[in-house]
Amino acid sequence: MPVRDAEPGDVDEICALIEEHARYEGNDELVLDRAEMKGHLFGADPKAWVLISEPPDAPGTVAGMAFCCWNFSTWEARPGIWLDDIFVRPAYRRHGLGRELLAELRARTSGRVEWDMQADNRKAAAFYAELGALPVPGWVRYRWRPGA
């Protein structure tokens, strides 16, 4: 199943996937600025990158994505990947696309691949456990927002 790096022409689909994911999670308000996202992903100083998943029976169709950035572990002394968002459109689920996206991330680093998951998402927890991923015990994530 094809997984590829996103290109500038994918920005509309990337933003649509993020907005669809927001709706799926109950946020009906999110609307992204496509030009701003294009700058963040493909500008002179990119801040993130995206993998696109296309189903094998429909080349050119964007079925899902993994939205990522590089991180660095000082204790492991190597870069890793922060997976900020992974989303596969409902019509394309249960065909291995999420597994393919995560496998591609794993192949791109000898460091850690990390992400957050909502505490009550049992389907995702079962999926990640099946892949061999484990929750990180003893750590609590903090967030500091602008203006705080």
- Are 5 and 52 in contact by the 8 Å Cβ rule? The answer is yes
Give 118: exposed, middle or buried? Use CB within 10 Å, 0-12, 13-18, 19+.
exposed
Dist CA 99 CA 67 (whole Å): 14
128 given a catalytic annotation = yes
Q: Pick the catalytic residue: 24, 92, 128, 142? A: 128
| Token pair for 21 | 């994911």
Give 98: exposed, middle or buried? Use CB within 10 Å, 0-12, 13-18, 19+.
buried
Query: DSSP states of 107-133 as a string?
Result: HT-SS-EEE---TT-HHHHHHHHHHT-
Place of tokens 């393919």: 100
Catalytic sites, residue numbers: 128
